[in-house]
Amino acid sequence: MDEISLITTEDGSHTLFHSTFNTSYHSRFGAVTESLHVYIQAGLFHFMSENPDILSVRILEMGFGTGLNAMLSMDVARRQKIQMEYEAVEAYPVPVDKATQFNYLRFSETDLRSYHAMHAGAWGKALNLNDYFTLTKHLSKMEDWHSDKKFDVIYYDAFGPETQPHLWEHTLMQKMFNFLKNGGLLVTFCAKGSFKRCLRDVGFEVEALKGPPGKREITRALKR
Ligand SMILES: C[S@@+](CC[C@H](N)C(=O)[O-])C[C@H]1O[C@@H](n2cnc3c(N)ncnc32)[C@H](O)[C@@H]1O
């Protein structure tokens, strides 16, 4: 059996199950529903509503995975005519032949050519996928990745703390805090108490927000 297998979630959108990590990439209640709720609504749209005059936004994603968050963000960039620079770090990439089986184009305005370029495009290179959206995928563990850039929004979408506890502790949260501009925010599906304490310890203001179906709460953390 493959290490990763395709499954269909309750809203009809695909996700993956990773047998080594023994977890799925998204909520089984709906992959697209979860991504839209957590990353687009609570993350990107919130940042844009707090900064209504901005013409560009820089996003960092922890865990490119299926590319779903990137694709939904690209829709926003094009719709709102906002320049988006999107950098995603991924340690265990999904094979391209698997990624092109996802049914995500049904849930997006993205065309097949851009979708394919998103997955098949080279690592470490800026890919201009349309007039508004540039994607750079970095093949690295987040622990080892360095950048001098500062970001507006971080989508923190690693596997959960029960699977990868070290990714939800002080060292990486300090790193995320340092990557953000003042006024920037981190958003994630995780609402574990010890994780939220870590965020506060490194200087974030932490908000608990209502979660998508099947999840009581999610977390947004602001760098003042
Ligand atoms: C919950 S999945 C979500 C992926 C993606 N955001 C999506 O919507 O499909 C977590 C992702 O984090 C990646 N990952 C796990 N450990 C990592 C690490 N140390 N550094 C970077 N990526 C990591 C996994 O390979 C996986 O793609």
State which ligand 1 atom lies nearest to the alpha carbon of 189: 1
pLDDT at 1: 60
pLDDT at 100: 87
Please name the residue whose Cα sits nearest to atom 25 of ligand 1.
92
Position 3 in a domain: no
pLDDT tens digit sequence for 130-180 = 999 999 999 999 999 999 999 999 999 999 999 999 999 999 999 999 999
- As a three-state string, the secondary structure of 67-125 is CHHHHHHHHHHHHHCCEEEEEEEECCCCCHHHHCCCCHHHHCCCCHHHHHHHHHCCCCC
pLDDT at 2: 78
Does the predicted model carry a pTM greater than 0.95? yes
Please name the residue whose Cα sits nearest to atom 15 of ligand 1.
158
Q: At what angle do helices 170-179 and 193-202 cross, to 10 degrees?
A: 50
Position 75 in a domain: yes
Cβ contact 155:76 at 8 Å? no
- Domain containing residue 194: CATH number: 3.40.50.150
C-alpha to C-alpha distance for 193 and 172, rounded to whole angstroms: 16
Q: Please name which of 149, 72, 86 lies closest in space to residue 115, comparing C-alpha atoms.
A: 72
Q: Output the DSSP codes for 21-61.
A: TTEESS-TT-HHHHHIIIIIIIIIIHHHHHSTT-SEEEEEE
Q: How far apart are the CA of 52 and the centre of ligand 1, in A?
A: 30
CA angle 62/47/45 to nearest 5° reads 90
Position 7 in a domain: no
Q: How far apart are the CA of 90 and the centre of ligand 1, in A?
A: 6
Position 94 in a domain: yes
Q: How far apart are the CA of 145 and the centre of ligand 1, in A?
A: 14
Query: Which protein residues touch ligand 1 with a CB less than 6 Å away?
Result: 25, 63-66, 68-69, 89-92, 141-143, 157-159, 164, 167
Position 100 in a domain: yes
Q: Show the domain range for 95.
A: 32-222
Position 186 in a domain: yes
Q: Which of 3, 4, 34, 64 to mutate to test the pocket of ligand 1 (most atoms within 8 A of CB)?
A: 64
Cβ contact 78:109 at 8 Å? yes
Position 162 in a domain: yes
- Count of domains observed in the chain: 1
Q: How far apart are the CA of 201 and the centre of ligand 1, in A?
A: 24
Token pair of 84 as six digits? 């988006």
> To the nearest whole percent, how much of the chain has pLDDT over 90?
98
Q: How far apart are the CA of 53 and the centre of ligand 1, in A?
A: 32
Q: Please name which of 73, 52, 53 lies closest in space to residue 134, comparing C-alpha atoms.
A: 73
Position 54 in a domain: yes
C-alpha to C-alpha distance for 40 and 48, rounded to whole angstroms: 10
Q: How far apart are the CA of 146 and the centre of ligand 1, in A?
A: 17
